Amino acid sequence: MDSIVTLKEITKTYRAQKAVDHVSFSINKGEVVAILGSNGAGKTTTVMMMLGLLAPTHGTVQLFNKDPRSKAVREKIGAMLQEVSVMDGLKVKELLQLFRSYYPNPLTVEELINLTGLEEADLKKRTEKLSGGQKRRLGFALALAGNPDLLFFDEPTVGMDITARGRFWDTIRTFAKAGKTIIFTTHYLQEADDSAERIILFNKGAVVMDGTPQEVKQKLSKKSVSFITDDEVPLKVYEQLPKVTHVYRKRERVYLNTDDTDAVIKALIKEDYNMSHIQIEQGRLEEAFEQLVAGREVL
Ligand SMILES: Nc1ncnc2c1ncn2[C@@H]1O[C@H](COP(=O)(O)OP(=O)(O)OP(=O)(O)O)[C@@H](O)[C@H]1O
């Protein structure tokens, strides 16, 4: 397999804090990869290091087996970062032309319009006059301008309405079919599941899972028995019940994670706890994800 992104033991430290901590992975040509994690997990810092815009404190990053800052690499990559900041004073068309001129085989302005939802009328506008949504589309067009082999998107769908989101993912699918490699960050497990074939899950600066959406969901998924109670039974007591792997409370509801919901229900009834609204869940992914990012042990 052709590895076109290779991170070896990268760490980024800000004063005493490790924003990214010994992260290693490679990405092969043609993969669509979601870097998933909550706020502050280290996603943006990792993307910035992959792009060569931030130097790792330790470790190495290579794109196409080269330094990400080299000209040969620059010509093959495109990126849309969280804050789309573009040069003021230029018209949209002029900026697109300028970006196109940096690359050996750029897409045409017409192709960029069709792929991103920018409108003909937007081309004549000065960039500082664009709305937030139009700026996002321009950022998307600038990322695609060079017809790059490797694309990075940091939280691409933030601030996009439903139509813009749909168009964005359609275009990503088109690029993926053409064999391009795509890396995007997201907070949302659902978005990663819908759009990526591989999820690299970050938590507190480290990679805690790396696999297909199916694999990640299987690992995260936990069955649970939950109920509402106004008893003051300490959670530790429920933890002692047979087959219970983890106990937590969310508002008035107590959750008991287990692989054997029947055994747990039998034990709860035998102990005659005060319970109402008993629910059996076969692994709520978003819930497991929330627990993981809240620092609880779910793996
Ligand atoms: N320039 C900086 N100086 C100091 N600390 C920083 C700096 N940039 C990021 N950090 C810290 O590094 C950690 C990781 O931040 P990062 O932006 O990479 O996370 P993220 O996963 O992209 O989060 P978000 O989803 O909120 O964008 C955070 O704790 C953040 O406060």
SS3 content of the chain, % helix, strand, coil (to 5): 35, 30, 35
Domain end position, chosen among 168, 197, 218: 218
Q: pLDDT confidence of 213, banded at 50, 70, 90? A: confident
DSSP state of 70: S
Residue having the nearest C-alpha atom to atom 12 of ligand 1? 19
What number does the ligand 1 atom closest to the CA of 37 have? Answer: 21
191 vs 27: which has the higher pLDDT: 27
The answer on pLDDT for 297 being more than 70 is no
Name the strand (E) or helix (H) holding 17.
Answer: strand 17-28
CB 193 within 8 A of CB 201: no
Ligand 1 centre distance from Cα of residue 147 (Å)? 29
Residue having the nearest C-alpha atom to atom 10 of ligand 1? 19
Q: pLDDT confidence of 2, banded at 50, 70, 90? A: confident
Distances (CA, A) of 272 to 115, 266, 268: 61, 10, 6
Q: Which residue's entry shows tokens 């937590």?
A: 248
How many folded domains does the chain comprise? Answer: 2
ipTM: 0.95
The answer on pLDDT for 221 being more than 80 is no
Do 40 and 78 fall into the same domain? yes
Q: pLDDT confidence of 298, banded at 50, 70, 90? A: very low
Pairwise CA distance, residues 75 & 178, whole Å: 18
| CATH number where 185 lies | 3.40.50.300
CB 261 within 8 A of CB 225: yes
Q: pLDDT confidence of 288, banded at 50, 70, 90? A: low
Residue having the nearest C-alpha atom to atom 6 of ligand 1? 14
Q: Domain range for residue 29?
A: 3-218
Q: What is the predicted pLDDT for the residue at 295?
A: 60
- Kindly report the average pLDDT of the chain as a whole number: 90
Q: pLDDT confidence of 284, banded at 50, 70, 90? A: low
Q: Which of 20, 39, 203 has most ligand 1 atoms within 8 Å of its beta carbon, as the pocket-test mutant?
A: 39
Domain-located, residue 94: yes
- Out of 10-14, 253-257, 291-295, give the one with best mean pLDDT: 10-14
The answer on pLDDT for 219 being more than 80 is no
Do 140 and 172 fall into the same domain? yes
Least confident of 2-11, 42-51, 224-233, 282-291: 282-291
Do 201 and 226 fall into the same domain? no
Residue having the nearest C-alpha atom to atom 17 of ligand 1? 44
Q: What percent of the chain has pLDDT over 90?
A: 69
Domain-located, residue 290: no
Structure-block tokens of residue 299: 């793996």
Domain-located, residue 130: yes
Q: Does residue 127 line the site of ligand 1, with CB under 6 A?
A: no
Q: Does residue 37 line the site of ligand 1, with CB under 6 A?
A: yes
Q: What is the predicted pLDDT for the residue at 296?
A: 54
Q: Which of 14, 20, 57 has most ligand 1 atoms within 8 Å of its beta carbon, as the pocket-test mutant?
A: 14
Task: Kindly report, residue by residue over 124-138, the tens digit of the pLDDT.
Answer: 999 888 888 888 899
Domain-located, residue 294: no
Domain-located, residue 49: yes
Task: Kindly report, residue by residue over 69-101, the tens digit of the pLDDT.
Answer: 999 999 999 999 987 677 778 899 999 999 999
CB count within 10 Å of CB 47 equals 22
Domain-located, residue 264: yes
Q: Does residue 43 line the site of ligand 1, with CB under 6 A?
A: yes
| Whole-structure pTM value | 0.81
